[in-house]
Amino acid sequence: QVQLVESGGGLVQAGGSLRLSCAASGRTFSSYGMGWFRQAPGKERDPVAAISWSADSTFYADSVKGRFTISRDNAKNTVYLQMNSLKPEDTAVYYCAAREGSFVYTIRGQYDYWGQGTQVTVSS
């Protein structure tokens, strides 16, 4: 079992930055692919970014490329999402997800473990 706890969400003005963190329990964090998803009211939960266990491969949704950066620190069992140049359309609940494996996983159904989510609100 893996437990995931997100933090770092909040209210920010357009153009601002936030860094989300996801702390994972368990001693095998380094063998898990990790991802960030987001869900706005009335919409599907969509992938935002993902990173392989070794951090040598990443994925970004087109809408966040050049603005968001995913990273991980396996020694701290933590994955991060640095979000810059935030826009009102980035407003959503952001979820951290994990699954065992060495690849980058970009589909919601590929993940086995989910955090409780953290709210990000970007005002215009």
Of 59, 21, 35, give the one whose Cα is nearest residue 111: 35
Q: What tokens appear for 103 in the block?
A: 């690849």
What was the pLDDT predicted at 21?
Answer: 98
What was the pLDDT predicted at 1?
Answer: 82
Give per-residue pLDDT as tens, 65-82: 999 999 999 999 999 999
Of 102, 103, 121, 118, give the one whose Cα is nearest residue 36: 118
- Residue ranges of the chain whose pLDDT lies below 50: none
What was the pLDDT predicted at 84?
Answer: 98
